[in-house]
């Protein structure tokens, strides 16, 4: 061995010893685990906290105290009987639509068409008042409820049929049908159903008292709240106690095993979209009959989209959706109150968007697990 080769060998051994001396005993890494269903209850809570912190930085950058803004929103939504009643009014369509999309999400059918299904229900309920003006007064509300549910269900079916028979992605069809419903709404309120005495206001004539949902004394809170709570109880019982609920659980956990067990996947897709659309349609009926008392342009400020946040914050649990719908409804009402301190009401939209982003990120992170490498060689 010549002198140059011997020196290279010695240097290589010295570097190897130095690397071994500085090498950690073990390391940690994140590994994707497709079997995991995402994070636990820490994900919604951490998502809300992260969204509040993120938005607080924007508020502070605009020269305002975030604690003052959040306190103002909380007081506006829950600090008075009026604020609480208004929060409940906003929570009704959010709860119904949230419950509807959760039914579909249980078997991985991604219905984002609750907005269009809500509008379809509102249009159908109004059609009862337009085309049957001489119904007995006691029949109006039951017929309007049935019409709203049926229209929403049919609108949901328009998404389910292409999915089951042609394999069309339901995200695309349900989203496109939202815009179809909006255009249909515009046609009626600007066209044949427009109130001739409404001047430039695009809407139908005001409903008669028989066509309006009853309200709780002194507030705008209407009996649609009873519909929403009854829907939660009914779905919870069916999902936990019936054969349909058992099949839904099996489909959600392992679609392939459910198929081999003789459960029809297509039949369940059609059924959940009928239920999902029907619940959103009931929300639309509640809005026109209980809040606006007419069909009008902009009947929904995006309840169908916001309901997705309600459903995911509750981890698709119907009972927790009561809480999350109140929380998101409080954000909407609280957004109105911050206008008095110089902020736009769209403050609530910024918070909702931040919560959704953090929620999606948390769910994705929940599918990873921390892996330790080294030490014993594992």
Domain range annotation of the chain: 91-319
Residue 151, burial from CB neighbour count under 10 angstroms (0-12, 13-18, 19+): buried
CA distances from residue 189 to 105, 169, 193, 200, 204 in whole angstroms, order as listed: 33, 31, 6, 11, 6
Write down the pLDDT at residue 260. Answer: 83
Calpha distance 328→94 (Å, rounded): 8
Write down the pLDDT at residue 377. Answer: 45
Strands (E), the chain: 26-32, 368-374
Write down the pLDDT at residue 43. Answer: 82
Tens digits of per-residue pLDDT, 272-306? 999 999 999 999 999 999 999 999 998 999 999 99
Mean pLDDT for the chain overall: 87
- Tell me if residue 160 falls in helix, strand or coil: helix
* String of DSSP letters for 209-278: GGGS--B-TTSS-BTHHHHHHHHHHHHHHHHHHSHHHHHHHHHHH-HHHHHHTT--HHHHHHHHHHHHHH
Write down the pLDDT at residue 257. Answer: 82
Write down the pLDDT at residue 26. Answer: 53
b/e map of 275-301 (b: 16 or more CB within 10 Å)?
Answer: bbbbbbbbbbbbbbbbbbbbbbeebbe
How is residue 112 written in tokens?
């984002």
Tens digits of per-residue pLDDT, 107-159? 989 999 999 999 999 999 999 999 998 899 899 999 999 999 999 999 999 99
Specify which residues 374 forms β-bridges with.
Answer: 26
Write down the pLDDT at residue 197. Answer: 80
Residue 228, burial from CB neighbour count under 10 angstroms (0-12, 13-18, 19+): buried
Write down the pLDDT at residue 378. Answer: 47
CA triple 267-272-278, angle to 5 deg = 130
Looking at residues 174-201, what average pLDDT do you find?
Answer: 90
Tens digits of per-residue pLDDT, 33-75? 655 565 677 788 888 999 999 999 989 988 889 999 999 999 9
Split at pLDDT 50, 70, 90, the class of 252 is: confident
What is the rounded (10 degree) CA torsion for 238, 241, 247, 248?
50
pLDDT at 329 over 50: yes
Closest to 181 measured CA to CA, from 304, 97, 352, 309: 304
């Amino acid at each position: 061995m010549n002198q140059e080769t011997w020196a290279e060998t010695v240097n290589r051994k010295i570097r190897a010893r130095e690397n071994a001396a500085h090498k950690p005993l073990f390391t940690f890494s994140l590994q994707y685990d497709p079997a995991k269903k995402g994070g636990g209850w820490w994900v919604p809570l951490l998502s809300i906290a992260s969204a509040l912190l993120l938005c607080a930085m924007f508020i502070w950058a605009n020269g305002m105290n975030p604690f003052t803004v959040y306190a103002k929103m909380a007081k506006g939504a829950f600090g008075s009987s009026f604020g609480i009643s208004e929060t409940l009014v906003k929570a009704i369509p959010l709860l119904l639509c949230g419950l509807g999309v959760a039914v579909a999400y249980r078997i991985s059918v991604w219905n984002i068409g609750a907005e269009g299904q809500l509008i379809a229900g509102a249009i159908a309920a109004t059609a009862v008042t337009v085309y049957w003006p001489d119904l007995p007064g006691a029949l109006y509300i039951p017929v309007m409820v049935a019409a709203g549910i049926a229209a929403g269900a049919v609108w949901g079916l328009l998404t389910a049929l292409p999915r089951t028979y042609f394999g069309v992605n339901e995200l695309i069809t349900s989203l496109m049908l939202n815009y179809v419903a909006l255009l249909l709404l515009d046609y009626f309120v600007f066209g044949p159903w427009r109130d001739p005495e409404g001047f430039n206001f695009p809407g139908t004539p005001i409903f008669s008292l028989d066509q309006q949902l009853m309200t709780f004394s002194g507030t705008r809170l209407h009996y649609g709240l009873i519909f929403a709570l009854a829907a939660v109880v009914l779905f919870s019982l069916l999902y936990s106690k019936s054969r349909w609920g058992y099949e839904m659980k099996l489909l959600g956990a392992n679609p392939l095993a459910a198929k081999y067990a003789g459960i029809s996947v297509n039949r369940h897709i059609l059924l959940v979209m009928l239920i999902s659309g029907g619940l959103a349609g009931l929300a639309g009926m509640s809005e026109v009959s209980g809040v606006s008392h007419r069909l009008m342009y902009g009947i929904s400020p995006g309840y169908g989209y916001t309901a997705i946040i309600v459903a995911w914050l509750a981890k698709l649990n119907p009972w927790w959706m009561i809480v999350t719908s109140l929380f998101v409804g409080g954000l909407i009402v609280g957004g109105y109150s911050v206008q008095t301190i110089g902020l736009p009401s769209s403050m609530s939209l910024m918070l909702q968007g931040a919560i959704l982003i953090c929620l999606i990120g948390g769910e994705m992170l929940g599918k990873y697990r921390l892996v330790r490498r080294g030490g014993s060689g594992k």
